[in-house]
A and B are shown apart, each in its own frame.
Chain A
């Protein structure tokens, strides 16, 4: 039979009378948990931001028609067992578009794993403004769909992507191009295609991806405008970007598409292999540091309780002599550890919350990320739950071992030793 009221009142008296030690032990937990919350919120916030930057922009599968020489030449087909040698193989002259793109898109849209499949038309062009001519790339897109599925609007620093939809012959110019040619929203720019067609386009916005190579070269326009510019029909599509519900399925689906349609399909994992590694390693570091902090805090509690038990040998002996069982004594010391854990842990959550709020409000301006104004923080309640649970587990074990020692103390030895 455990009399918790008595046990807790003894535990409380010990904690209150050893105030400095209690505070030291509690602060250990507070700093551990506070640092964990801050670190994990900041790190996952950062990861989330980078995910946004790269993964949410990047199609999970990018389908295009790559110009490459045929794998098998007719000669090889004819003389299968013979040793053949062909010099100067060249790819066949053919259009860059995806054959039968719209049935393919329709087919993809019917696939249960696919969230969206969006066509694009990419064209090599020259930007002409006055006497300046710059090489570049103009991509025709479906503006509204791109915004919905690929967060396209996050990179538009002036103007809106919707204007592309509404304004005929409009262009969303790369920030680098705009700067080089001293152009701003509302101005006109002429573009010339490789085949020599020149067309004036109205600048309705500027986008900045943060990657200089892209901002210096790329611009976006409505898909129809680009098709007209190239003199191609509405079925002309050079790229299809696919977004899936589950990114993990990108690899298998892209291989299936390549096989089925004789096209090039690159999945996001292949395209951004190094990115995934970075995320994993950052998470690993976050957890390694946090767990180290908490273990250090746990050892602090362990130490202080151990000392307390040595100091309280006589108390333990008399408690046992007057009828408290070993278990009672163990619970007295374990409840002290857990009280320290709860108080220190809750305070740690508060400290962590305040620190991450402070970080969340710290200005963070960078050229590379035009839409970010403060440091990213991920306020996920799960971290707070993990934090308090870990605090309790750590203090439980930090208390368990000294308390078990107290339980085993033989009162006769203490009393006779005096």
Chain B
């Protein structure tokens, strides 16, 4: 199977307040269509790893490949472009732009990518919202919808450019169990039906148990 994400000996150090190695020789690959979760205790470096894999953090040693291309050492604009095109994010907090409507929030990354016309983008965005059953909220302000709905909007936004990989940093951490299940179902469905790769950092063992593969981390190393 095709590998979408691949790392070679990634090391990461924090120098503040004292020199400290958070990641030690991380070698990891995620295959196309794979739904993987990263688990581990707080401070084991799982979020740090996720932000390196997401290209947002470029201060590390080692090599990172996305879709077979070397990402390490690229300049900021190129990394932005890669994130825009290939990676969708879902965070613990929804990070919607509160002054924009739900639809505009979803459309924003596609507008930045500027490959499709605004009409096509609007159509795509509505499609994603329909898929997540929140199309009735399209013209509401993002600040006026509930927490579970916000997270689904964030997922729709992550999907708008049809990325190769969805990354999540505790996407269910702020949700009640009903909405958490809902989000998990959506992820499961995306993986099974659309062959999307997902890499989700989580604390929730129930969540992790329903993924294809659990990557366990401890003290900056992958232990299983």
Interface string of B75-91 (1 = CB under 8 A from A): 01100110111000101
**Residues 70-118 of B contacting A (Cβ, < 8 Å):** 76-77, 80-81, 83-85, 89, 91-93, 95-100, 108-109, 111-114
Q: Within the complex, which residue of A314, A315, A328, A416 is in contact with B112, where a contact is CB–CB below 8 Å?
A: A328
- In the assembled complex, how far is the CB of residue B46 from the closest CB belonging to chain A, in whole angstroms? 12
Q: Within the complex, which residue of A5, A322, A411, A418 is in contact with B93, where a contact is CB–CB below 8 Å?
A: A418
Structural contact, A14 and B99, CB atoms closer than 8 A: yes
Q: Within the complex, which residue of A5, A13, A317 is in contact with B95, where a contact is CB–CB below 8 Å?
A: A317
Structural contact, B112 and A412, CB atoms closer than 8 A: no
- In the assembled complex, how far is the CB of residue A76 from the closest CB belonging to chain B, in whole angstroms? 88
User: Which residues of the partner chain B approach A324 to less than 8 Å between Cβ atoms?
Assistant: 80, 84, 112
Structural contact, B111 and A411, CB atoms closer than 8 A: no
**Residues 1-22 of A contacting B (Cβ, < 8 Å):** 1, 3, 5-6, 9-10, 13-14, 16-17
A414: nearest residue on chain B (CB-CB)? B95
Structural contact, A320 and B111, CB atoms closer than 8 A: no
Structural contact, A17 and B112, CB atoms closer than 8 A: no
Does B57 make an interface contact (CB < 8 A)? Answer: yes
Structural contact, A415 and B91, CB atoms closer than 8 A: yes
The verdict on A416 contacting B77 (CB below 8 Å), with A322-B89, A322-B157 known, is: no
Find the residue from A6, A322, A416 having the highest chain B CB count within 10 A: A322
Find the residue from A14, A320, A323, A412 having the highest chain B CB count within 10 A: A323
Does A318 make an interface contact (CB < 8 A)? Answer: yes
User: Which residues of the partner chain A approach B112 to less than 8 Å between Cβ atoms?
Assistant: 3, 6, 322-324, 328
Structural contact, A322 and B51, CB atoms closer than 8 A: no
Bound CA–CA A6/B112 (angstroms): 7
Does A352 make an interface contact (CB < 8 A)? Answer: no
User: Which residues of the partner chain B approach A418 to less than 8 Å between Cβ atoms?
Assistant: 91-93
Bound CA–CA A17/B142 (angstroms): 13
- In the assembled complex, how far is the CB of residue B14 from the closest CB belonging to chain A, in whole angstroms? 12
Structural contact, B108 and A315, CB atoms closer than 8 A: no
- In the assembled complex, how far is the CB of residue B64 from the closest CB belonging to chain A, in whole angstroms? 15
The verdict on A323 contacting B109 (CB below 8 Å), with A13-B100, A14-B99, A318-B95 known, is: yes
Does A188 make an interface contact (CB < 8 A)? Answer: no
Bound CA–CA A257/B91 (angstroms): 88
Interface band, chain B: 20 to 34
Q: Within the complex, which residue of B99, B100, B108 is in contact with A322, where a contact is CB–CB below 8 Å?
A: B108
Does A321 make an interface contact (CB < 8 A)? Answer: yes
User: Which residues of the partner chain B approach A373 to less than 8 Å between Cβ atoms?
Assistant: none
Bound CA–CA A42/B111 (angstroms): 50
Structural contact, A320 and B56, CB atoms closer than 8 A: yes
Bound CA–CA A9/B105 (angstroms): 12
Does A325 make an interface contact (CB < 8 A)? Answer: yes
B88: nearest residue on chain A (CB-CB)? A322
Structural contact, A323 and B113, CB atoms closer than 8 A: yes
A5: nearest residue on chain B (CB-CB)? B111
Structural contact, B99 and A415, CB atoms closer than 8 A: no
User: Which residues of the partner chain B approach A322 to less than 8 Å between Cβ atoms?
Assistant: 83-84, 89, 108-109, 112, 157
User: Which residues of the partner chain B approach A6 to less than 8 Å between Cβ atoms?
Assistant: 108, 111-112, 114
Interface string of A66-99 (1 = CB under 8 A from B): 0000000000000000000000000000000000
Interface string of A316-342 (1 = CB under 8 A from B): 011111111111100000000000000
Does B34 make an interface contact (CB < 8 A)? Answer: no
Find the residue from B47, B56, B85, B98 having the highest chain A CB count within 10 A: B56
Does B124 make an interface contact (CB < 8 A)? Answer: no
Structural contact, B109 and A412, CB atoms closer than 8 A: no
User: Which residues of the partner chain B approach A1 to less than 8 Å between Cβ atoms?
Assistant: 114
Bound CA–CA A6/B114 (angstroms): 9
**Residues 141-169 of B contacting A (Cβ, < 8 Å):** 157, 161, 169
Bound CA–CA A403/B53 (angstroms): 27
Bound CA–CA A14/B99 (angstroms): 7
User: Which residues of the partner chain B approach A412 to less than 8 Å between Cβ atoms?
Assistant: 51, 56-57
Interface string of A391-418 (1 = CB under 8 A from B): 0000000000000000000011001101
Interface string of B38-70 (1 = CB under 8 A from A): 000000000100010010110000000000000
Bound CA–CA A5/B99 (angstroms): 17
Bound CA–CA A29/B183 (angstroms): 49
Bound CA–CA A179/B84 (angstroms): 89
The verdict on A325 contacting B95 (CB below 8 Å), with A3-B114, A320-B56, A412-B57 known, is: no
User: Which residues of the partner chain A approach B169 to less than 8 Å between Cβ atoms?
Assistant: 415
- In the assembled complex, how far is the CB of residue A329 from the closest CB belonging to chain B, in whole angstroms? 10
Bound CA–CA A320/B109 (angstroms): 10
Q: Within the complex, which residue of A9, A314, A321, A415 is in contact with B83, where a contact is CB–CB below 8 Å?
A: A321
- In the assembled complex, how far is the CB of residue B71 from the closest CB belonging to chain A, in whole angstroms? 14
Structural contact, B56 and A321, CB atoms closer than 8 A: yes
Bound CA–CA A321/B79 (angstroms): 10
The verdict on A318 contacting B97 (CB below 8 Å), with A326-B76, A415-B169, A418-B92 known, is: yes
User: Which residues of the partner chain B approach A315 to less than 8 Å between Cβ atoms?
Assistant: 95, 97-98
Structural contact, B51 and A416, CB atoms closer than 8 A: yes
User: Which residues of the partner chain A approach B85 to less than 8 Å between Cβ atoms?
Assistant: 323
User: Which residues of the partner chain B approach A328 to less than 8 Å between Cβ atoms?
Assistant: 80, 112
User: Which residues of the partner chain A approach B109 to less than 8 Å between Cβ atoms?
Assistant: 322-323
Find the residue from B77, B84, B100, B112 having the highest chain A CB count within 10 A: B112
- In the assembled complex, how far is the CB of residue A155 from the closest CB belonging to chain B, in whole angstroms? 65
| Known contacts A324-B80, A416-B51; 4 further A-B pairs (Cβ under 8 A) | A1-B114, A319-B97, A321-B56, A327-B77
Q: Could you give 5 example pairs across A and B, Cβ below 8 Å? A: A3-B114, A5-B111, A317-B95, A415-B93, A415-B95
A: residues with CB less than 8 A from B are 1, 3, 5-6, 9-10, 13-14, 16-17, 314-315, 317-328, 411-412, 415-416, 418
Task: Please give me the 10 A-B residue pairs with the lowest Cβ-Cβ distance, nearest first.
Answer: A323-B84, A318-B95, A17-B99, A325-B80, A322-B109, A6-B111, A323-B83, A412-B51, A325-B77, A418-B93
